[in-house]
């Protein structure tokens, strides 16, 4: 058997948008991923569902799988011929024990590569408005681990650190911050030296506390700071308030659950995170293209799409069948909304008709009233196996004949864990099926007091039946949802 290869990949400090391009590619191409608890949930969401995962569970003070066993796991998986991604928080070689993991591989002639990650020692202060170097304040940067075994002395040369007059970044130091502060002051550092403690850095739930050396231990205890946290010591910490950009985001401290299918959730989740929200991807439905597919579209002059999935299913089938978009030449195309029209543009086509309100009722009604479709037209609806009746009822009232042809189907996603909804500010629903799918996962039928951010009135109506406190976007579009939650959270 051919030996595989191990990629030692740094996952960065937590924010998934700080992953390197190479890291993202390897995560998707791997045969197996061996990961730590310090890898954020949003990064884990990028991993394909069918991926083999090995959780080695390393966290501060909690190593259920000893390091020597992790080394053996990497060797075993590679010797089975697999492409192994060892996914580690931060950078593998900055207090990540990456060197230890490569020793056994090197001894056994197993190929490996190292993919550096953005280290939290630099990124976390940056997210707190602290430049770790500044020509007016310091000329050096020093990264130190404050971790020590219980009862053991810290192996830190405090005298040397104080003489260097640089910025000091202490990792894994929450439990030893008092000993560190005492050591620095004993070595001659001023008691009023600015300090910062940043907990959960780069995550939406990031907390920052500014203090000075004499009071840093008290600050940590009073605010119950927990790992992971980075402690910065140096004059550059005085710039934090001036340069702070992260804490001023409009959705900071808001927790929003995204229930869209995994394949569609990235746009909504990304926009919410950019505004500072903490998000959790909790897909409640999944869509699958119906195959084999043979829509008799050539006998129809008007194609109607009610979702991005319908567009992609139809045109993917068309291309797989050895044809291309020239097959729909001369046909008119209607789309339910801007997102569906944008999906059509991905295949080089423009929608001829988009309603003023993005839902099935207005799509059908406005196609009839505008004369876009007439009684002698041949209309084919390319949509879900179980689609909304609002569209077909509107066409029926207008006397428009049509063929309702399913090109994909939707099913519920099962979740083992029941969500603690009281800890979330909003649950998002982008379709009626998302509402049904979410309710199906929870062991309750009444959701009174749970705020539901809904993409339109039809989705909101279904959510309201289950007792949700609905917040409705003015347009059935992702951007409108984001704008609505921004306004609602600031009212």
Is 80 exceeded by the pLDDT of residue 60?
Answer: no
Catalytic-labelled residue, pool 36, 45, 359, 390:
36
pLDDT digits (tens, 9 = 90+) for 347-363: 999 999 999 988 889 99
Q: What is the pLDDT of residue 166?
A: 96
Contacts of 341-350 with CB under 8 Å at 24 or more apart are 342/308, 343/305, 343/308, 343/311, 343/312, 344/305, 344/311, 346/311, 347/311, 347/315, 349/325
Identify the band that residue 61 occupies on the pLDDT scale cut at 50, 70 and 90.
low
pLDDT of residue 62: 55
Give the active site residue among 171, 172, 475, 481. Answer: 172
pLDDT in tens, 239-295: 999 999 999 999 988 999 999 887 776 789 889 999 999 888 888 888 889 888 888
pLDDT on residue 42: 83
pTM recorded for the entire structure? 0.80
Task: Write down the pLDDT at residue 150.
Answer: 64
What pLDDT score was predicted for residue 294?
84
Q: What's the gap between Cα 488 and its chain centre?
A: 22
Q: Of 15, 44, 58, 171, which is the active-site residue? A: 58
As a whole number of angstroms, the distance between CA 12 and CA 194 comes to: 26
Which one of 62-76, 135-149, 210-224, 467-481 scores highest in mean pLDDT? 210-224
pLDDT level of residue 443 (50, 70, 90 thresholds)? confident
pLDDT digits (tens, 9 = 90+) for 202-249: 998 899 999 999 999 999 999 999 999 999 999 999 999 999 999 999
What's residue 242's pLDDT? 97
pLDDT at 456: 82
Per-position DSSP letters for 194-261, written without gaps between them: EEEEEESTTSTT-EEEEEETTTHHHHHHHTT--SSEEEEESGGGGGHHHH--STT-TTTT-EEEE-S-
Domains annotated on the chain, with CATH: 5-117 (3.40.1010.10), 122-243 (3.30.950.10), 255-284+414-490 (3.40.50.10090), 288-411 (3.40.50.10090)
- Rounded to an integer, the average pLDDT of 382-401 is 91
What percent of the chain has pLDDT above 90? 73
Task: pLDDT band for 148, please (50, 70, 90 cuts).
Answer: confident
367 catalytic, yes or no? Answer: no
Average pLDDT over residues 450-478: 91
- Measured between alpha carbons, how far is residue 491 from residues 154, 250, 424, 451, 473 in Å? 50, 12, 18, 14, 15
User: In the chain, pLDDT over 70 holds for what percent of residues?
Assistant: 98
Q: Is the model more confident about 170 or about 280?
A: 170
Q: CB under 8 Å to 75, separation ≥6 — which residues?
A: 104, 105, 108, 110
CA 12 – CA 18 distance, rounded (Å):
6
193 labelled catalytic: no
Q: How far apart are the first and last CA of the chain?
A: 63
Query: Which tens digit of pLDDT belongs to each residue from 64-102?
Result: 789 999 999 999 999 999 999 999 999 999 999 999 999
Give how far the C-alpha of residue 160 lies from the chain's centroid of Cα atoms, to the nearest Å.
Answer: 42
pLDDT computed for residue 295 by the predictor? 85
Please say if 172 is a catalytic residue. Answer: yes
Least confident of 58-67, 148-157, 419-428: 58-67
The predicted structure's pLDDT at residue 291: 87
Q: Taking a C-beta distance cutoff of 8 angstroms, is the pair 154, 49 a contact?
A: no
Buried b (16+ CB within 10 A) or exposed e, 128-142: bbbebeeeebbeebb
**In terms of Cα–Cα distance, which of 65, 75, 60 is closest to 35?**
65
> Mean pLDDT, to the nearest integer, of 126-147?
96
Q: Phi-psi bin for 293: left (phi > 0), alpha (psi -120 to 50), beta?
A: beta
Q: Looking at the predicted structure, is the pLDDT value of residue 140 above 90? A: yes
- In what side-by-side order are the strands of the sheet with 167-171? 141-145, 167-171, 229-233, 194-199, 207-212
Q: Any bridge partners for residue 403, and if so which?
A: 380
Name residues whose C-beta falls within 8 Å of residue 150's C-beta, 6 or more positions apart in sequence.
Answer: none
Residues with Cβ < 8 Å from 349, sequence gap 6 or more? 325, 328, 333
Cα dihedral 141, 230, 233, 243, rounded to 10, equals 90
């Amino acid at each position: 058997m051919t030996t595989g290869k191990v990629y030692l990949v740094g996952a960065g400090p937590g924010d998934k948008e700080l992953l390197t391009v190479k890291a993202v590619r390897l995560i998707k191409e791997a045969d197996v991923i061996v990961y730590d608890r310090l890898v954020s949930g949003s990064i884990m969401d990028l991993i394909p569902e069918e991926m083999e995962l090995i959780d080695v569970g390393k966290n501060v003070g909690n190593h259920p799988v000893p390091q020597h066993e992790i080394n053996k796991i990497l060797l075993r998986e590679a010797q089975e011929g697999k492409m192994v991604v060892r996914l580690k928080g931060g950078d593998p070689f900055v207090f990540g024990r990456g060197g230890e993991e490569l020793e056994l591989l090197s001894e056994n002639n197993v190929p490996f590569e190292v993919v550096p990650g953005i280290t939290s020692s630099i990124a976390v202060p940056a997210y707190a408005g602290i430049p770790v170097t500044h020509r007016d304040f310091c000329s050096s940067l020093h990264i130190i681990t404050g971790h020590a075994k219980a009862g053991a002395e810290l192996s830190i040369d405090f005298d040397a650190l104080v003489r260097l007059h640089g910025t000091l970044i202490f990792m894994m130091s929450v439990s030893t911050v008092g000993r560190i502060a005492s050591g620095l002051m004993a070595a001659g550092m001023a008691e009023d030296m600015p300090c910062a403690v940043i907990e959960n850095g780069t995550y939406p739930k990031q907390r920052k506390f500014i203090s000075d050396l004499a009071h840093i231990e008290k600050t940590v205890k009073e605010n119950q700071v927990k790992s992971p946290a980075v402690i910065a010591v140096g004059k550059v910490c005085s710039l934090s308030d001036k340069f702070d950009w992260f804490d001023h985001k409009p959705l900071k401290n808001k927790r929003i659950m995204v229930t869209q299918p995994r394949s569609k959730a990235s746009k909504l989740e990304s926009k919410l995170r950019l505004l500072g929200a903490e998000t959790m991807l909790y897909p409640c439905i999944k869509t699958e293209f119906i195959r084999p597919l043979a829509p008799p579209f050539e006998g129809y002059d008007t194609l109607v799409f009610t979702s991005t999935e319908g567009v992609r299913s139809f045109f993917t089938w068309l291309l797989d069948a050895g044809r291309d978009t020239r097959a729909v030449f001369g046909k008119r195309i209607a789309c339910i909304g801007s997102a569906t029209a944008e999906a059509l543009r991905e295949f080089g086509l423009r929608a001829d008709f988009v309603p003023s309100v993005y839902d099935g009722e207005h799509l059908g009604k406005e196609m009839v009233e505008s004369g876009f479709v007439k009684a002698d037209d041949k209309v084919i609806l390319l949509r879900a196996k179980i689609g909304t009746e609002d569209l077909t009822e509107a066409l029926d009232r207008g006397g428009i004949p049509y063929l309702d042809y399913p090109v994909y189907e939707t099913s519920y996603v099962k979740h083992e864990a029941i969500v603690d909804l009281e800890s979330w500010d909003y649950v998002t629903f982008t379709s009626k099926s998302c509402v049904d799918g979410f309710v199906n996962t929870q062991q309750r039928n009444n959701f009174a007091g749970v705020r539901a951010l809904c993409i339109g009135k039809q989705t909101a109506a279904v959510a309201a039946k289950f007792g949700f406190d609905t917040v409705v976007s003015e347009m059935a579009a992702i951007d409108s949802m984001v704008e609505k939650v921004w306004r609602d959270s600031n009212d």
